[in-house]
Amino acid sequence: MNDDHGPAARGRHITICEVGPRDGFQSEERFIPTDEKIAIVDAMFAAGLRQIQVTSFVSPRAVPQLADAEEVLARISRPEGASVSGLVANRKGAERAVGAGVDFVHGVLSASETHNRKNVNRPIDASLSEMEEVAAILAQGGVALEGGIATAFGCPFEGEVPAEQVGRIARRYQEMGAMRVSLGDTTGMATPVTVAAAISAIRDAAPGLEIGLHFHNTRGVGLACVMTGLSLGVTHYDASIGGLGGCPFAAGATGNICTEDLVYLLEESGYATGVDLQAIIAVAERTQETLGRPLPGQVMKAGPRLRRYDPDATRTAAG
Amino acid sequence: MNDDHGPAARGRHITICEVGPRDGFQSEERFIPTDEKIAIVDAMFAAGLRQIQVTSFVSPRAVPQLADAEEVLARISRPEGASVSGLVANRKGAERAVGAGVDFVHGVLSASETHNRKNVNRPIDASLSEMEEVAAILAQGGVALEGGIATAFGCPFEGEVPAEQVGRIARRYQEMGAMRVSLGDTTGMATPVTVAAAISAIRDAAPGLEIGLHFHNTRGVGLACVMTGLSLGVTHYDASIGGLGGCPFAAGATGNICTEDLVYLLEESGYATGVDLQAIIAVAERTQETLGRPLPGQVMKAGPRLRRYDPDATRTAAG
């Protein structure tokens, strides 16, 4: 516990998993050239990120933007210590992921029945059975499993999702040998209270299982939820370059929390991310140019905290 | 201390002081009709806000938008328990504020020499002497003083501002009889570490003096800083409707933290604000229409947390 994020945070490492190339790019209607995807991922690694969710192994008909999954994975430059992952919902995806040489797979299912049925067209129990087969394929291929739990903090169709349900699924993932569960805030319903409840339920149901947090800033409180996660000792967070993305299929959802804003918050709070702020801002700017529209990230607009202005060139007045 | 904002927060009251009519409107070039200003302030009170910084008592030449300070104050409807304030930088402003019948005055000076000189055209010590005279005028008029400290978490010209300097000014305000100090994050440089340091310095230098926090979301971490304030027991926060405002005279500054996003965060964390979320969202929408451009608030776009969608009318796919 570390209330004020002061000296106790000093140097503690926090892992940021960049999910923009998957969670962000998948929503783009205009195809992003494969070379540009590769250049952006390479620039992310060069900025110091060491975990990137690069793509999805889902049907190219469902997500045509990520139909180049294998090519992107084959051609990116992976620095030492880097881990790349792809999203997988079924056995076929698992086989592709193993073939493509990812380090880990992000398995996807939802904590809410209605969202799971809408998202992957089957009940949660059927998804868990499928995920057991996914886990077996991955184990055989030497690929780790990160157990994704979508709608972990609430469902846009059902409302509240009981924390015990999140704990129950985490336990099943632990039994499958997952290295971590990743709690997805699919439509931006996470709050400090629901985050604390989900973490507590997982620690009860699946002691020792690592927890990752994947927040959306849909209602403006994404980084406030990170503060709760930090105060409860969670050291793994997903974020998206420029605040790109969100689940395009769930009504009302806007962007993921923003990678460079998260780097700024963590580094300024005394945590170590390994990411160079100026370099990751440059990647956000490049991504913005590639997509041809402004992204919601704030630090890319305001610059680093100690950016200095010339008082003689600045107008000011009472206020 | 309350790490997870769970049961311990239940029902604890947090005061939100709405500053949009001053900190926001002052930046608008097009004059907002006096009737519309009054209607918006009245709607804020009707939504449950009980503290509003309505205007500034500065030169109408410097801030023509707020030249109607006296008329707005005379014509708003103040519900029982409501407090209205105006910003004051000198004796003349204090006399106008007393005459206009505010409940308290927000005195303004900066913790950084360069910013103070640029903002009010004198050294900090001269501002403190002037503020003593302001305090005497207010005391005689039965008006309370909230001691504003701009650039409390950093200065766009000088860089870091020592927490001890913030503590020293707070002590001076306490000696003048101020009811509270209000730490201004003038250009969005506050971080969890600088917030904790400033609070600690004030508690050392001016024990028992109430602290209010005024954050800007310039670098995306405004509500994360609120989380730090809450964890350290601060119960008074400024915010601006729709995220309007920021200091228009300090280069790089964008908006204040957003009132309705703050209400959402606090109420969902188990705190009581007295503000009705749907009603304050409606005020944000009205303000947006009045100004004719989108405001940065998030909750006004996504709606309340448990907004339900019809699964049969919603497209979804793996992700």
Distance (Å) from the C-alpha of residue B35 to the closest C-alpha of chain A? 23
Comparing CA positions, the residue from A65, A72, A78 lying closest to residue A35 is: A72
Which member of A1, A191, A311 has the closest CB to residue B114? Answer: A311
Q: Mark yes or no for CB contact B319/A26 under 8 Å.
A: yes
Who contacts A199 (Cβ-Cβ below 8 Å, separation ≥6)?
A211, A229, A232, A234
Percent of chain B exceeding pLDDT 90 equals 84
Distance (Å) from the C-alpha of residue B219 to the closest C-alpha of chain A? 5
Distance (Å) from the C-alpha of residue B173 to the closest C-alpha of chain A? 18
Q: Mark yes or no for CB contact A248/B319 under 8 Å.
A: yes
Q: How far is Cα A173 from Cα A187, in angstroms, rounded to an integer?
A: 22
Domain ranges of chain A: 7-313
A-chain residue closest to B156, CA distance: A308
Which member of A219, A226, A232 has the closest CB to residue B305? Answer: A219
Percent of chain B exceeding pLDDT 70 equals 93
Q: What is the pLDDT of residue A6?
A: 57
Which carries the bigger pLDDT value, residue A313 or residue B142?
B142
DSSP of B14-81: -EEEE-IIIIIGGG-SSPPPHHHHHHHHHHHHHTT--EEEEEE-S-TTT-GGGTTHHHHHHHS---TT
Q: Mark yes or no for CB contact B219/A189 under 8 Å.
A: no
Q: Mark yes or no for CB contact B317/A62 under 8 Å.
A: yes
Whole-model pTM?
A: 0.94
CATH 3.20.20.70 fits A7-313, yes or no: yes
- Residues of B tagged active-site: 247
Q: What is the pLDDT of residue A308?
A: 82
Mean pLDDT, 10 residues at a time, chain A of 319 residues: 55 96 93 98 98 96 96 97 97 98 97 94 96 98 98 95 98 98 95 98 98 96 97 97 72 78 97 98 97 91 86 61
Q: Mark yes or no for CB contact A220/B1 under 8 Å.
A: no
Q: Quick check: B182 pLDDT over 70? A: yes
Q: Quick check: B141 pLDDT over 80? A: yes
B-chain residue closest to A86, CA distance: B319
Strand pairing category for B144-150 and A83-88: unpaired
Q: Quick check: B15 pLDDT over 70? A: yes
Q: What is the pLDDT of residue A9?
A: 74
Any CB–CB contact under 8 A between A23 and chain B? yes
A131 vs B contacts (CB less than 8 Å): none
The b/e string for B55-75 (b: 16+ C-beta within 10 A; e otherwise) is bbbbbeeebebbbbbbebbee
Q: Give, for B184, the enclosing helix (H) or strand (E).
A: strand B180-184
Report, as an integer, the average pLDDT of B70-96: 97
B 193-212 residues with CB < 8 A to A: 193-194, 196-197
B191 vs A contacts (CB less than 8 Å): 265, 268-269, 305
ipTM: 0.93
Q: What is the pLDDT of residue A101?
A: 97
Q: Mark yes or no for CB contact A251/B191 under 8 Å.
A: no
A215: left (phi over 0), alpha (psi -120 to 50) or beta: beta
Q: Quick check: B1 pLDDT over 50? A: no
DSSP of B187-246: TS---HHHHHHHHHHHHHHSTT-EEEEE-B-TTS-HHHHHHHHHHTT--EEEEBGGG---
- What's the one-letter identity of residue B50? R
Provide the mean pLDDT of chain B: 93
Any CB–CB contact under 8 A between B92 and chain A? no
Q: Quick check: B4 pLDDT over 60? A: no
A 41-80 residues with CB < 8 A to B: 56, 58-59, 62-63
A1 vs B contacts (CB less than 8 Å): 3
pLDDT single digits (tens) B222-248: 999 999 999 999 999 999 999 998 655
pLDDT single digits (tens) B291-318: 998 898 999 988 889 888 888 876 554 4
Q: What is the pLDDT of residue B250?
A: 46
Distance (Å) from the C-alpha of residue A140 to the closest C-alpha of chain B? 24
Comparing CA positions, the residue from A245, A266, A191 lying closest to residue A221 is: A191
Q: What is the pLDDT of residue B313?
A: 74
Q: Quick check: B128 pLDDT over 60? A: yes
Any CB–CB contact under 8 A between A316 and chain B? yes
